Structure 1
Amino acid sequence: MNCTRFYSSLIAFVLLFTGLGAGYAQQLDSMVNLYGERYPQEKVYVHFDKPAYNTGETIWFKAYIFSGIIPSPISRNFYVELIDPSGKVLQQKVLPVYEASSAGSFDLPANLPPTVIFRAYTTWMLNFDTSFLYSKIIRILNKTGVSAPGTTAATTPAAKQTAAKQPAAAATAAASSSTPAVSLRFFPEGGDLVTGLESVVAVKVTDEFGLPVSANGSIKDASGATVATFGTVHDGMGRFSIEPQAGKTYYAEWQDEKKQTHKTNLPAAKSTGVVLQCASSGSREAFIIKRSQESPDNLKTLYLLGYFNSQVVYKARLNLQQNFMVSGSIPLEGIPTGMIQMTLFDADWKPLAERIAFVNKEDYFFTTRVVPTIKNTDRRGKNSLVIDVPDTLRSNLSISITDAGLSKADPDADNIVSHLLLSGDLRGYINNPYYYFTGNDDTVRSHLDLVMLTNGWRRFKWDDLAAGKLPVIKYPHENYLSLNINLTGVLPSQVPKNTQINVFLQAKDSSRQLFFLSMDSTGKFKQDGLVFFDTVSVFYQFNNNKHLANKAVVNFTNGTYKGAVAVKPDSAWRVPMPLDTSLLNRGRFFASEAERLKPELEKKVKVLETVTVKAKQKSKQQVMDEKYTSGLFTGGDATTFDLTDDPSAMGAYNIFSYLQGRVAGLQITTGGGGSQLQWRGATPSLFLNEMPVDVTAIENIPVTDIAYVKAFRPPFFGAMGGGAGGAIAIYTKKGGDVSSSATNVGGLDKTKLTGYAAPKEFYSPDYSKELAQNELPDIRTTLYWVPYILTDKNNHKVTLQFYNNDVTKRIRIILEGMNEDGQLTRVEKIIE
């Protein structure tokens, strides 16, 4: 397709702009274009190896990052989190971005709720509407299956169309009946109902989980007379037309699919206003605009802007001085597949109505062939397949090969095509979004237009754009990891102007990097563009003041975003209804097999273990306790933390963010007012080097300066008042508190720095070889996972080989990816 997706701005004029209107038009026009050029929005799609997991398994994932309609050139760091339904962050990782993509894994512990939320984002995305951060519900299976819906805090409706996120007239009315879990929402096209003007109204009916419900009913006025009828035609959505009359109110009397009767009021109609109606017509998007017969002057001259990917592609001045209706169309030539937004303004450039429409040119796909050359579903059978991309463009692919029963799509299945072209750009929950890309006939287009009518997106704050205001960028572009060095504890006069610092970074494989850094105008040192994993040892020395390190505290950070330790639950974090019983049963089967084989597995693993000789010696906790504690702080009922050799501590924002979630019963919250602690209903006492202190004295201490922490369970009798809330004792480092793994370099000062999450390699057994580990039972649910398959004109074929497990008889292959032009691919095959 080459350049067809790189459209040129297409601007059509219905009438020439003149006078004051032209000035405003030019300003809004240029501001929208400037917004799109300077603040391109990123969106993320994540390919998982499968949609559901047993505890103890690994989540494998590959993320694709888009900006508009092309792979994003913006971000270099990628942030992923596992969150429980209450909003608590369970695990966090930072990963590098390569070829507008990133890949990693999460190991699942045994103690997990029935669902967890996978959230992913770049810091550039945090500058804008955070409701567009990627999140997905991950179901956690076990030998008895998932918990029933309604048992966790995540069982809230999926609909994201709250009043704050929708046009005012996109009213949501809960059904007033004995079954309030089913609700009906009305969405007047363009935003409002207006007295005397016929309007199209879309309806959306959902259950308490946000899933679609079929319904039909009639629209009646206050006297009970029927003025319209309606019925859902696809996924709980439908539409009807109504012309509201002055002084009348209307309601819907309807039945859901269980024959329960409901009554829901329509939103009130405005006495004067305009309505905007749209319909696709071949290569153009047609529109009709109507105003009230008796309208103020500001509704007799209107302006229409059409924009695609934050670029103005259409603008028109509409003269309604004599006529109350005008029609036109937006040419779609040169505009690729995606959403076009239309906003209607009055004569003073105040927004009146808004409509989104989907343009499907079917130009988003590139061909990828997945050809199995050897098929074998026998126990540990060998399989082989060839991936062929017959194109000269560079492509970036990922492939998952799994037990077919555990990779079956769930009701809210999304994939790379539907997410990057549709659901990733809309606020509302969309059921089975890929359906809208399975065809382009009149039926599918009509159903897709219902999605456009019932899901809103207001990217621009028009008042701000008219005033020339642009977004405040709190998080600028990141250039991979940084070596940030900050000096504290010394006066600026004590630091020579030309101070330089020499820094060695030494990785665990003994590889080194050397930097000579000069101090900037703010008194800091910085080097960005670095890539290193796990932790590195940092050796440093000031080259013109070797004693400066003894006077100052030298703080090293890696420049990554330190997010909040708790996340506000999202209404979309629902528990999906367990509709797919085959998936649940398959999950139970694998969990039960793992439990049954556990004794045999442990027995064989012990046989494979090498013999080790153990000598009794003091534990690290005993050594640290003897070195730091005294009196009442020695021993005791406490949870201890040795930070001198804990890589995760290096990335913590402060000691409280490090402790959050690590001590049973201790609750820690952070916010603008500082950290707050509670343990068994009381506030813990805080001690710094066994001296009582308050929260503010602790939370500003760099974590790199802390060696040892003891959290004493309530009560702690060494505190004032009996210590009903327990106590937290914090000890700063003494000499020699350096990881034993760090090798000294020429007597330089040293510390540690955390890098990207250490990569984990997917294990794929080779049963053609006689290896000891091949004696173990094999009940892997993911048979093969490759996050990066890169092709180009010189290398467009890739051959993969993998072995089946002991039990799978149907194998599912899912390949997804993108090419350098932003085209997408998805292939799904079954081997049986």
Structure 2
Amino acid sequence: MALIFTGLGAGAQQIDSMVNVYGERFPQEKIYVHFDKPAYNTGETIWFKSYLFTGIIPSPISRNFYAELLDQSGKVLQQKIMPIYEGTSAGHFDLPANLPPTIVFRAYTTWMLNFDTTFLFSKTIRILNKTTAQTPPQGGATAAGTTTAAKQTTAAASSNSIPVATLRFFPEGGDLVTGLESVVAVKVTDVYGLPVSAQGTIKDAAGATVANFGTVHDGMGRFTIEPQAGKTYYAEWQDEKKQTRKTPLPTAKPGGVIMQCASTGNREAFIIKRTADAPDNLKTLYLLGYFNSQVVYKARLNLQQNFMVSGSIPLDGIPTGMIQMTLFDADWKPQAERIAFVNKEDYFFTTRVVPITRNTDRRGKNTLVIDVPDTLKANLSIAITDAGLSKADPDADNIVSHLLLSGDLRGYINNPYYYFTGNDDTVRSHLDLVMLTNGWRRFKWDDLAAGKLPVIKFPRENYLSLNANLTGVLPSQVPKNTQLNVFIQAKDSSRQLFFLTMDSSGRFRQDGLVFYDTVQVFYQFNNSKHLANKAIVNFSNGTLKSGGVIKPDTAWRVPMPLDTSLLNRGKFFATEADRIRPELEKKVKVLETVTVKAKQKSKQQQMDERYTSGLFSGGDATTFDLTDDVSALGAFNIFSYLQGRVAGLQITTGGGGSQLQWRGATPSLFLNEMPVDVSAIENIPVTDIAYVKAFRPPFFGAVGGGAGGAIAIYTKKGGDNTSAASSVGGLDKSRLTGYATPKEFYSPDYSKDVAQNELPDIRSTLFWAPYLLTDKNNHKITLSFFNNDVTKRLRIILEGMNEDGQLTRVEKIIE
């Protein structure tokens, strides 16, 4: 949607076309991370699920998700890389015992590193123990833009027990201009960046009062002032502690233009004013409005005869999010800028969390039903924790507020979800104060005017790569069309064969791979003894090795005081962990000598453990064990074997090759958990295949979401009487690291009488499931979990998105 005024000139075409180029060729990604809880004890596990967006939809751009734990200086303590499926990823960090009181969780994609790294996801996480104090550690991170002097002021304030409050002014549009009445927003915060209430007056240098102001919400407020020529102004104000302070206002420009905006129904109204003596370049102005890096409004404003002009931007067709308006002079130099929030309340989809069985007794069983009454595919995550340890801290943000608001703004926003709890005049007015007091600038206008595009240092990644670089020989010594034959062998002995051809840069590369942990790489040059004797092959997986290319974020704030109940609950769990540790170690040693009698695993369970890993283990699948299936010997290939054996799976074999359909879509195919096409599988002798899993649609482990399900085929390993070679003898060998090894959340089953259930249970996270997937045929999920030994109040937090980018969040208490 665009309202275009004619005669805007070449400058307009250059600017708005460049904005659209940025939006189409360089879309910005943003990340939200759902944690199981906001604070952790040492020795615990951080469980997390990431949601990656571009604009207002799940991002189709990146394939690799980078997560890091850092100390406050920016040093990377741990890094993990995980694959992204349908805009999401999940993982964990096991916390050691020697962590500082605060750490920073940082997450990004390499595509995001091409742009302003201020918008990388980061969250300060408190590490609790039985001695955790309220006082923040010295030398912690400070508020965005805080100077060394401010840090010293903070330290002095702490020693005097008088919190330092800071008042900042934000003239609407950017500047005060002499002779023009302007709106000025105020924001008052303490040393932690938290809001402070304040009241005050605006006075000129002679002490005459010209305006009054007061904060109306979260330390924010506004007033109007018309600066006069030759005068300066200051604020005399008091905070909650009745400490009187004086703060100067920004100096007014002697001449210029201002912009004022206000939402009116389904339009964004604006008023543009100029001073009477404004130069000619301010008598013709241009206004651009853009949403998600796409121009949605542009106008030429004639102020040759008039000092003021007004208008409005129609918001039809614009969904919930931020619209930015920039005012340019006749030479297309920016003069004023304003952001406004459009809330169409169209971003939410309904999810019901219905407790069927509630039991907060010691080790009591609880049952929930998750119901998404929608036909769209949804991707959810759920955390169930001790209510005291999961109580929202002042940093609280959630999937709705972060992806629609705080993830697009610089600076700290207190309690951002408040702005989505209603859409009445009061909430809208408070949200507009956030727009006035937080900077948001994606574009450098000088670059756009010059037609300058961003430098892409990090191209888009397509999962892991098998990269081979040669050393020890010159490029001229490498024969044309040299081929490198490579076997990748995982720890479970599954293998994949690749034939790599050298590219123009002298490298060998195969991307689009998904494998975990470490794999062995066996390689051999095809018909080139010269290279085999002289060349050294170095393998890499194509990922960024360290976040060292990212500068520490100045927005890592001093860790704010914790809620007292959260702090006390954390100390309780830490103390209990210390108390039972000797008892736990003693019982574990006893268990080592106990013979545990359990039901023998089925052959299917044994095959699953032997062959599958990660997203391929378990799942909703039909399985086939071919190691002892005589009927498989007569099958022409694996597809003819599967015909008629899987409900809903249609397989057609013929001269043109095998064709597969499941629920109207083509199933994804995997050979030893590596994605392949039909031709790579149909020629494998059935006698070489040990195990097949046909995953019913949708299969989340497949690129694109697996709408047609997936078929995973595993070739035989040693001991399964395979006709294939059981070794790769005579080949050179290397090693390659894959994605971080997945870890399954442990949820004990106290309905069974097993020896492990005799151990004490003080888990503060009772249940964590990063992937709850629903669609039109499967919109209800039932899950059960057991309470620990000490919790009496449970908090359930469920978050997620659907395929259209709509969001959901449910929070419930069980007590």
Place the TM-score, normalised by the shorter chain, in its bin: 0.7 to 0.9
**Whole-angstrom CA distance in 1 between matches of 2:221 and 2:118:** 26
Q: Which residues in structure 2 correspond to 1:379-398 (within 5 Å)?
A: 379-398=362-381
Residue 171 of structure 2 corresponds to residue 188 of structure 1: yes
**Whole-angstrom CA distance in 2 between matches of 1:143 and 1:744:** 53
Contact 2:140 2:559 in 1 (8 A): no
Residue 36 of structure 2 corresponds to residue 53 of structure 1: no
Deviation at 1:461, TM superposition (A): 1.1
Q: 1:824 aligns with which of 782, 789, 807?
A: 807
> For residue 461 of structure 1, what is the aligned residue in structure 2?
444
Deviation at 1:26, TM superposition (A): 1.5
Amino acid at match of 1:117: V
Residue 311 of structure 2 corresponds to residue 328 of structure 1: yes
**Whole-angstrom CA distance in 2 between matches of 1:296 and 1:344:** 16
**Whole-angstrom CA distance in 1 between matches of 2:437 and 2:125:** 26
**Whole-angstrom CA distance in 2 between matches of 1:98 and 1:772:** 38
> For residue 135 of structure 1, what is the aligned residue in structure 2?
122
Residue 362 of structure 2 corresponds to residue 370 of structure 1: no
Deviation at 1:185, TM superposition (A): 0.6
Amino acid at match of 1:74: I
Contact 1:161 1:428 in 2 (8 A): no
Contact 1:114 1:146 in 2 (8 A): no
> For residue 295 of structure 2, what is the aligned residue in structure 1?
312
**Whole-angstrom CA distance in 2 between matches of 1:351 and 1:38:** 23
> For residue 352 of structure 1, what is the aligned residue in structure 2?
335
Residues 611 and 501 (structure 1), Cα distance of their counterparts in 2 relative to 1, 3 Å cut: farther
User: What SS does the aligned partner of 1:47 have?
Assistant: strand
> For residue 23 of structure 1, what is the aligned residue in structure 2?
10
Deviation at 1:570, TM superposition (A): 2.7
Q: Which residues in structure 2 correspond to 1:770-781 (within 5 Å)?
A: 770-781=753-764
Q: 2:411 aligns with which of 428, 451, 455?
A: 428
User: What SS does the aligned partner of 1:428 have?
Assistant: coil
> For residue 63 of structure 2, what is the aligned residue in structure 1?
76
For structure 2, which runs of at least 5 residues remain unmatched after alignment?
596-725
Contact 2:134 2:562 in 1 (8 A): no
**Whole-angstrom CA distance in 2 between matches of 1:290 and 1:491:** 67
Contact 1:145 1:585 in 2 (8 A): no
Deviation at 1:576, TM superposition (A): 3.2
Deviation at 1:494, TM superposition (A): 2.6
User: What SS does the aligned partner of 2:588 have?
Assistant: helix
Q: Which residues in structure 2 correspond to 1:208-287 (within 5 Å)?
A: 208-287=191-270
User: What SS does the aligned partner of 2:98 have?
Assistant: coil
Contact 2:352 2:370 in 1 (8 A): yes
Contact 2:411 2:555 in 1 (8 A): no
Contact 1:89 1:567 in 2 (8 A): no
Contact 1:356 1:453 in 2 (8 A): yes
Q: How much identity, in percent, do the aligned residues show? A: 82
Contact 1:486 1:523 in 2 (8 A): yes
Contact 1:160 1:429 in 2 (8 A): no
**Whole-angstrom CA distance in 2 between matches of 1:468 and 1:568:** 27
Deviation at 1:496, TM superposition (A): 1.5
Q: 1:449 aligns with which of 432, 441, 462?
A: 432
Q: 1:156 aligns with which of 142, 158, 177?
A: 142
Instruction: Single out whichever of 546-555 and 440-449 deviates more from structure 2.
Output: 546-555
CA deviations on 1:97-123 (whole Å, 9 max, x unpaired) are: 011000000000000111100000000
**Whole-angstrom CA distance in 1 between matches of 2:451 and 2:552:** 34
Residue 3 of structure 2 corresponds to residue 12 of structure 1: yes
**Whole-angstrom CA distance in 2 between matches of 1:433 and 1:162:** 26
Contact 1:186 1:203 in 2 (8 A): yes
> For residue 588 of structure 1, what is the aligned residue in structure 2?
571
User: What SS does the aligned partner of 2:110 have?
Assistant: coil
**Whole-angstrom CA distance in 1 between matches of 2:70 and 2:205:** 48
Residue 285 of structure 2 corresponds to residue 298 of structure 1: no
Q: TM-score, normalised by structure 1?
A: 0.80
Residues 588 and 180 (structure 1), Cα distance of their counterparts in 2 relative to 1, 3 Å cut: closer
> For residue 678 of structure 2, what is the aligned residue in structure 1?
none
> For residue 759 of structure 1, what is the aligned residue in structure 2?
742
Deviation at 1:588, TM superposition (A): 0.6
Aligned length: 677
Amino acid at match of 1:84: D
Q: 1:35 aligns with which of 22, 45, 49?
A: 22
Residue 78 of structure 2 corresponds to residue 91 of structure 1: yes
Contact 1:402 1:782 in 2 (8 A): yes
Instruction: Single out whichever of 485-494 and 320-329 deviates more from structure 2.
Output: 485-494
**Whole-angstrom CA distance in 1 between matches of 2:134 and 2:222:** 36
Deviation at 1:152, TM superposition (A): 3.4
CA deviations on 1:167-204 (whole Å, 9 max, x unpaired) are: xxxxxx99x99978321111000000000000000011
CA RMSD of aligned residues (A): 1.9
Contact 1:765 1:803 in 2 (8 A): yes
User: What SS does the aligned partner of 1:609 have?
Assistant: helix
User: What SS does the aligned partner of 2:317 have?
Assistant: coil
Residues 162 and 291 (structure 1), Cα distance of their counterparts in 2 relative to 1, 3 Å cut: farther
> For residue 700 of structure 2, what is the aligned residue in structure 1?
none
Residues 567 and 467 (structure 1), Cα distance of their counterparts in 2 relative to 1, 3 Å cut: closer
**Whole-angstrom CA distance in 2 between matches of 1:821 and 1:90:** 36
**Whole-angstrom CA distance in 1 between matches of 2:26 and 2:142:** 33
Deviation at 1:295, TM superposition (A): 0.9
CA deviations on 1:149-181 (whole Å, 9 max, x unpaired) are: 2x2322422x45999xxxxxxxxx99x999783
**Whole-angstrom CA distance in 1 between matches of 2:594 and 2:73:** 45
> For residue 599 of structure 2, what is the aligned residue in structure 1?
none
> For residue 513 of structure 1, what is the aligned residue in structure 2?
496
User: What SS does the aligned partner of 2:3 have?
Assistant: coil
Deviation at 1:568, TM superposition (A): 4.1
Contact 1:114 1:147 in 2 (8 A): no
Q: TM-score, normalised by structure 2?
A: 0.81
User: What SS does the aligned partner of 1:406 have?
Assistant: coil
Q: Which residues in structure 2 correspond to 1:665-814 (within 5 Å)?
A: 745-814=728-797
**Whole-angstrom CA distance in 2 between matches of 1:449 and 1:498:** 62
> For residue 602 of structure 1, what is the aligned residue in structure 2?
585
CA deviations on 1:586-610 (whole Å, 9 max, x unpaired) are: 1111111111101110000001125
User: What SS does the aligned partner of 2:337 have?
Assistant: strand
Contact 1:380 1:804 in 2 (8 A): yes
**Whole-angstrom CA distance in 1 between matches of 2:541 and 2:579:** 45
**Whole-angstrom CA distance in 2 between matches of 1:610 and 1:393:** 52
> For residue 471 of structure 1, what is the aligned residue in structure 2?
454
For structure 1, which runs of at least 5 residues remain unmatched after alignment?
1-9, 164-172, 613-742
Contact 2:283 2:330 in 1 (8 A): yes
CA deviations on 1:274-307 (whole Å, 9 max, x unpaired) are: 0000000011000000000111110101000000
Amino acid at match of 2:195: P
**Whole-angstrom CA distance in 1 between matches of 2:66 and 2:169:** 37
User: What SS does the aligned partner of 2:412 have?
Assistant: coil
> For residue 538 of structure 1, what is the aligned residue in structure 2?
521
Deviation at 1:575, TM superposition (A): 3.5
**Whole-angstrom CA distance in 1 between matches of 2:593 and 2:489:** 31
Residue 405 of structure 2 corresponds to residue 419 of structure 1: no
Deviation at 1:465, TM superposition (A): 1.0
Residues 418 and 584 (structure 1), Cα distance of their counterparts in 2 relative to 1, 3 Å cut: same
Deviation at 1:23, TM superposition (A): 1.4
Q: 2:97 aligns with which of 110, 114, 121?
A: 110
